[in-house]
Amino acid sequence: MDVRPGIAWALAIVLFVVYALQQHDVLSRLQLTDLCSATVFLVALGLGEGLVLLTRGIDLSIGGVLSMGTAIAATHFVSPGTELLWSSVIIVAGAGVGVLNGALIGILKLQPFIVTLATWSIVSGVALLILPIQGGSIPPHFASWINQSSLGLPNAAWIILAMVAGWSWFKRTRLCRRIYALGSDPEGAAIAGVNTRSTLIAVYGMAGVCAAVGSILYAMLTASGDPTVGNGEILPAVTAVVIGGTSLYGGSGGFVGTVGGAFALTLIADVVFAFNLTSYWQQLADGVVLIIAVLAGGAVRSMRLRRAALRAP
């Protein structure tokens, strides 16, 4: 039984309790809806980033895809028909960036961080060409959906639940088993017949799609576009995944912890706000939390390796 996702959820719950004690109306319907809609885009980013981390990679280009997505949304969502059309354009563009990453990493065997750093730069440039400065607008009827409820639950919560459901289905697929195999032992997986190339292309492609979906959710949340917003969201996305117990060394972890990690990060911002501290504390906390989580993950890993070494004959 892996306890690591539990740690992320425990952190989120502790933060939530602190927040609730400090702020009175936290348990109100409105506040809970806000919490979900502020977190949902990070959950989407974390879903994709988590898959990449499972393969021992990293995807920095999600920052560019997030910026580009909000830029396209803010300039092209003008009427009900166009929203669906351009949402699919955003998703296809995200998938395209991801597949390009995957091809360069899987087929040419280039290093993930430098490839996705380069595509991050390229896609950021495209975002700035589409929308040079922060602005544009999302039609209110489309944007407000994220803050509404259906069947007694906030729509944002439904999306998170849908992603969790999707993950529990995906976990049983052959592709997912290949991803874990590739991450825990690349050479062994290749010998066992895992097609490294197509698996990596699929993983980075999915990360691109997740980032694109995240960008649409982010645009709904802020009701506008920002061609540089993604630069600041790479770190939270990675942090949510790492707090959630997914190892940077690949092969272990999962999405359930990531959801807890994403909620914990949103709640850090809420707690900072509730104690009347400036939001700058949040920046500091995000960075520190990432480094601590990575160190803790590394410590757990070396402990396991040592135990495994002791057990070996």
Partner 1 sequence: MKLAVPRRHRSIALAYLLLLVLVVVGRIVASGFLGVDHIDELIDEGALIGFVALGQGFVILAGGVDLSIPWVVTSAGILVTTFTGTNSSNMLWDVPLIIGLAAVVGLINGIGVVFLGVTPIIMTLGMSTVVEGALLLYTNGSAGGNVPHPAVFLATHKIGQVPVMGLAWLVLIVVVTFTLSCTPFGRRLYAVGLNRRVALFSGVDVKLVTCSVYVISSCAAAFAGIALAGYVGQSYLGMGDPYLFTSIAAVAIGGASILGGTGNYIGTVAGALTLSVLNALLPTLGFQPAVLDIVYGMVILVAVAAASLGGRARTD
List of residues contacting partner 1 (CB under 8 A): 58, 60, 104, 108-111, 113-115, 117-129, 132, 228, 231, 234-235, 238, 248, 278, 280-288, 290-291, 294-295, 298
Q: With respect to partner 1, which residue has the nearer C-beta, 214 or 236? A: 236
The C-alpha atoms of residue 60 and residue 127 are separated, in whole angstroms, by: 15
CB of 153 to partner 1, least distance (A): 33
Instruction: Look at the chain and count its residues.
Output: 313
Q: Which is nearer to partner 1, 106 or 154 (CB)?
A: 106
| CA–CA dist 191, 185 (Å, integer) | 10
Q: If DSSP codes are grouped into helix, strand and coil, which group holds residue 150?
A: strand
Distance CA 202, CA 200 (A): 5
Quote the least distance from Cβ 234 to partner 1, whole Å. Answer: 7
Q: Which two tokens stand for residue 146?
A: 């994220």
End-to-end CA distance of the chain: 25
Residue among 6 and 232 whose Cβ is closer to partner 1:
232
Tokens matching residue 4: 């690591």
Q: How far is the CB of 27 from partner 1 (least distance, A)?
A: 29
CB-nearer residue toward partner 1: 132 or 188: 132
Comparison of 107 and 165: residue with beta carbon closer to partner 1: 107
Rounded to the nearest 10 degrees, the angle between the axes of helix 29-54 and helix 174-184 is: 60
Taking the complex as a whole, the smallest distance from the CB of residue 35 to partner 1 amounts, in Å, to 22
Alpha-carbon distances, residue 46 vs 21, 50, 238, 286 (angstroms): 28, 6, 7, 15
Cite the DSSP H helix spans in the chain: 4-22, 29-54, 62-76, 80-106, 112-130, 140-143, 155-170, 174-184, 186-191, 196-222, 234-243, 255-274, 280-311
Which CB, 123 or 159, lies closer to partner 1? 123
Spacing of C-alpha 77 from chain mean position: 24
Degrees, nearest 5: CA angle 92-94-99: 90
Provide, rounded to whole angstroms, the least separation between the CB of residue 273 and partner 1.
15
Q: How far is the CB of 279 from partner 1 (least distance, A)?
A: 8
- Least gap, CB of 155 to partner 1 (angstroms): 30
Q: Give the Å distances, CA to CA, from 100 to 89, 104, 129, 136, 178.
A: 16, 6, 20, 29, 20
Residue in the structure block whose two tokens are 């929308």: 131
109 or 307, CB closer to partner 1?
109
CB of 283 to partner 1, least distance (A): 3
Nearer to partner 1, 103 or 274 (CB): 103
Token couple for 217: 């959710």
Tokens matching residue 14: 């502790």
